[in-house]
Amino acid sequence: MKVLAVGVTGQFASLVVPELRSRGISVRALIRDENQQHDALAHGADEIALGDLENPASLRHAVKGVDGIFHINPSFAPNEFAMGIAMLEAARSAGVRRFVFSGIIHPSILGLSNHASKLPVEEVLYQSGMNFTVLQPARFMQTIDGAWGEVLRLGRFAVPYSIRARVCYVDYRDIAKAAAIAFSTNRLDYGTFELCAPGMFSPADVAALMAETLGFPVKAVEIPFHEWAKTAGLPPGPKRIGMRNLYEDYDRHGFPGGNALVLREVLQREPRSLAGYIRELAVLSHRLAA
């Protein structure tokens, strides 16, 4: 089997490639720019296809000859839903048999652009006639990585929302595993799966887990959004607006979830935990410092 994978050069979808390869699946990476070729191959892709989700015509060659497509949209892009539908239409026209869409938990939260933009993609996928699997992951544990340096330097876990807002998480490596299962077996055929690790955690809870692991105090701190965005290198534009709206929603409602029943059944093992993820970050930091 050959799969066209979107996002292979990114932090999250790159984790799908080794899972696919471990099951004997060949991976063709979709890249927008030839300069991304080295990174795609370094992440394990077998071959490269040039194409742009904003240019539907460019996708026709990219999808030719593949058996399946792994698709993840660039969140907060102003035309995110159109990108997903462009890929679906290219896949359907090319006779692609299987489509795995990495979406988001609770796509029905229409007030948040990164949620609402997934819903029309799901609708078109359900009507496509292709064998589909929709993965709806919670907040990625990997989003903690950007704050880790400050945790180590200052003992501070800074977030732009209430430190009491409880959020559900998932390790994207578990989502990558689920995607590989969808391509290599029929267990997830025609299914839509809400995928969470167990529990919900506030920033204060996360800081407590960090302190327990690191052996020194870590304090959760709420900082203004503009300060967080500057530190994160987030320029003005749709993504910045979308992230601000997201964190304002966290302030009001948190991010409910944390029921691991479905992910546990999909993986047929216990999902990776947030505490375990933090322990891995600590071990990696220790090795790099040694």
Largest CA distance in the chain: 57
Over range 44-66, report the average pLDDT: 95
What is the identity of the amino acid at 262? V
Domain-embedded: residue 62: yes
Q: Where do we find the tokens 């546990």?
A: 264
Domain-embedded: residue 265: no
CA–CA gap between residue 217 and residue 207 (Å, rounded): 8
Q: Give the rounded percent of residues in the chain with a pLDDT score beyond 70.
A: 100
Residue 190: CB atoms within 10 Å: 11
Beta strands 98-102 and 68-72: pairing type? parallel
Domain-embedded: residue 84: yes
Q: Where do we find the tokens 């194409």?
A: 51
Domain-embedded: residue 147: no
Give residue 12's domain range: 2-138+170-195
pLDDT surpasses 70 at 290: no
Closest CA to 274 of 205, 175, 189: 205
DSSP string covering 21-78: HHTT-EEEEEESSGGGHHHHHHTT-SEEEE-BTTBGGGHHHHHTT-SEEEEE--TT-T
What band does 124 get if pLDDT is binned at 50, 70 and 90? very high
pLDDT surpasses 90 at 240: yes
Q: CATH no. for residue 12?
A: 3.40.50.720
Over range 88-93, report the average pLDDT: 96
Domain-embedded: residue 10: yes
pLDDT of 149-164, one tens digit each?
999 999 999 999 999 9
Domain-embedded: residue 78: yes
Inter-CA distances, 24 with 21, 46, 73, 97, Å: 5, 11, 25, 18
Q: What is the mean pLDDT of the chain?
A: 96
Number of domains in the chain: 1
Q: How much is the pTM?
A: 0.96
pLDDT of 196-223, one tens digit each?
999 999 999 999 999 999 999 999 999 9
Domain-embedded: residue 242: no
